[in-house]
Structure 1
């Protein structure tokens, strides 16, 4: 049990300011995430150092295609979530409430494992990293002091207050899941405008940003749904921010067949035609749209296969042929 941050008192209730649900909690109540609760009039979290998984993983698996490609990050998670997606790919931890009794994994232990593995960054992923808020506020400065970058893979439902504090603590990059319009978010218990606000805020704060959209068969893979994602990506993120369209596979409560690849290819064509400079396909190993191409001259810049980087053709972060500056952070060797 660790004291929670990002809250205020209103009358006899505690209002959580961590995510857009703004849960109003009285004594003994748990928030929608089942990770924060009120005891003796004060909020606490059950996820501080309550780690469900930890391992070294490629940046490409997040996916981060423009942030330290070819490198690895110490990747870790806790339990539960603040949204309730019925197709969740990591439901075995996101649908499990945090254990009330556990051994704390100290931030120093995460950093030491990263250094042992040769990782260049930390990454809170697998389930929603917002639930590790207090832990990340302690971990990020420590990791940065040891020469590591800090990243998260998020559903984007955190408040601007929480995001600003994470950036101040040392957040360098985030991948945000944009699921679709409100018709899609109704199935998850959220609203699209809040995720778009997070994308916009991250961009303004100078965080490296990449956006991913899981295209689900006969839910959000039609042309109108794709155009909504593309138009809002351009409006709130910008043309230079990478957009990943990922193939869905049946999971948790959803049994629809995997997304037809041709629908994902169509989504990529729409995005490129509308002006998104870097558009990718996910969960389709060996596809040409796993690669990075120069949006100016079309030259192949980064060749990939699945989560492996096979070749990088950049010079000082620019296209080696035409000299166009490429969005991202690259370590050229």
Structure 2
């Protein structure tokens, strides 16, 4: 029943049996090999009855209405509210995780709310949300649940947003992103050493996902990099990353450079100064990125969108609240006519910077 927590597992597709009695999960590049009764690194995919199942279908760590800019997405339906939710677990082990209480949780009690896909779609529509975001932890690990929610949302005209690290194998990647309308992908750093040391992962699968999204889908993509002092914030690494983005993804993909604050297993590190973010943004613009932003700080200049043709401020932002709006109905600069890349409606939303928790037990599909 909607709103009541129940134990529920669903079968999955991306796995194969091994000769030694174990099964291998083929959803992400971790390729966990597990025995009967064991869980993968992500915690939510387990071996039961000789197959991989998803153990958290229909269960969430909670639902909340956010501004879409908080994902962060600055070029996808600006100013509109998005119904956000996640589950437990993650397939990376980032030592700097800012949502570690959910993404690193291995306790089912973290999953404090429940809803069927149709109920989430109904709630989003009833609450005036233009989209639903799969966030807080990486939605690729609850692949089946996210897809079912996205399908239900699509039937009601509600868009789907994936906030993800992009750590997923090619075949499930195609199925997953077929149902997504926008994605903010964490490009956590630009060296294999960074991914190995701080995330227990690899860089190349993330780059592969990014190229797939931009070249082979119609998903709107924005990138976020959390800049950690002394780890991934050098001029050399930023130059390499930004040049790769422009060459392989193009100049229209927005890049968000956001501030780290001490958390989880990196409490000894200092917070990222604003000067680091503005330096990264300047390097991006110098290398041809048309839309570069600062985040997790108060920086109206770094939060706002500018026309790369004439320099006019197209969308003014003060944290998550919009001010200036100088786009035409078809998404062009109203001064020079240059197209602003993105997914825009004739007028912006007016949700502002509100954050509203929601209990889905109030909605019945």
TM-score by length of 1: 0.95
Q: Give the superposition deviation at 1:103.
A: 6.9
Q: Which deviates more, 211-220 or 3-12?
A: 3-12
User: Would you say how many aligned residue pairs link Structure 1 and Structure 2?
Assistant: 332
Q: Give the superposition deviation at 1:257.
A: 1.4
Match of 1:6 in 2: 14
Distance 2:125 2:218 in 1: 26
1:309–1:160 Cα change, 3 Å: farther
1:127-166 to structure 2, matched below 5 A, reads: 127-166=137-176
Match of 1:199 in 2: 210
Match of 1:178 in 2: 187
Distance 1:263 1:185 in 2: 21
**Paired residue secondary structure (1:318):** coil
TM-score by length of 2: 0.87
Match of 2:360 in 1: none
Match of 1:220 in 2: 232
1:237 paired with 2:245, answer no
1:330 paired with 2:340, answer no
The match for 1:274 among 279, 287, 293 is 287
1:321 paired with 2:335, answer yes
**Paired residue secondary structure (2:84):** strand
**Paired residue secondary structure (2:199):** coil
Distance 1:126 1:228 in 2: 28
Match of 2:317 in 1: 304
Deviations 1:96-117 (A, max 9, x none): 1251898742112211221222
Distance 1:332 1:17 in 2: 42
Q: Give the superposition deviation at 1:26.
A: 2.9
The match for 1:208 among 220, 223, 240 is 220
The match for 1:95 among 96, 100, 104 is 104
Residue pair 1:243, 1:278 contacting (<8 A) in 2 also: yes
Match of 2:298 in 1: 285
Residue pair 2:44, 2:142 contacting (<8 A) in 1 also: no
Deviations 1:128-181 (A, max 9, x none): 11122110121111101101011110011012222210233x211100000111
Match of 2:355 in 1: none
Q: Give the superposition deviation at 1:84.
A: 0.7
CA RMSD of aligned residues (A): 1.6
The runs of 5 or more residues in structure 1 that have no matched partner are none
The match for 1:263 among 276, 288, 307 is 276
Q: Give the superposition deviation at 1:17.
A: 1.8
Residue pair 1:214, 1:246 contacting (<8 A) in 2 also: yes
**Paired residue secondary structure (1:314):** coil
Q: Which deviates more, 226-235 or 119-128?
A: 226-235
Residue pair 1:5, 1:134 contacting (<8 A) in 2 also: no
Match of 1:190 in 2: 201
Residue pair 2:62, 2:112 contacting (<8 A) in 1 also: no
